[in-house]
Amino acid sequence: MEELRSHTEEGKRVYRVHVLSRPLTDYLRFELGWGYRKNMTGGEEFFILDVTDTPNPLAGVPDFWCFDSESVAVMNYDGTGKYLGSQVLEPERVAEFTGYRDTALAHAEPFPAWWAKHGA
């Protein structure tokens, strides 16, 4: 929390979009209800792209991190969902993934509003 808060106090924006569908698993309910709410106290912003009743505008796009719109790392998982690590993409792909980021944000809802409707 201290590191997160130090970034946001410097004026850096830390945020994520979580693509999901309901019903929530017990673990996801815990992650959202405890983890996200805790990180919000450090200034992190969360958005939910709920694809329960709508097509996923990012279907086929892997999970990824975008760092300052300058570099992108794609997350890799095995068939059971276990995280295997990440791969930094070549700079030529940054624009593609910042486009995915912008699409995600355009279709997502701020977490507090979404949680008030669908959370615990």
CATH of the domain at 98: 3.30.870
Q: Which tens digit of pLDDT belongs to each residue from 3-16?
A: 989 989 999 899 99
Residue 101's pLDDT is what?
96
Structural domain count of the chain: 1
How far, in Å, CA of 91 to CA of 57, rounded? 23
Q: How confident is the model at residue 22 (pLDDT cuts 50, 70, 90)?
A: very high
How far, in Å, CA of 42 to CA of 90, rounded? 31
Instruction: Supply the range of the domain harboring residue 46.
Output: 2-118
Residue 44's pLDDT is what?
94
Residue 16's pLDDT is what?
94
Q: Which tens digit of pLDDT belongs to each residue from 39-87?
A: 999 999 999 999 999 999 999 999 999 998 999 999 999 999 899 999 9
Residue 113's pLDDT is what?
96
Rounded to two decimals, what is the model's pTM? 0.90
Query: Do strands 71-77 and 83-88 pair parallel, antiparallel, or not at all (unpaired)?
Result: antiparallel
Residue 120's pLDDT is what?
66
How far, in Å, CA of 63 to CA of 65, rounded? 7
Q: Which tens digit of pLDDT belongs to each residue from 24-33?
A: 999 999 999 9
CA 92 from chain center: how many Å?
A: 22
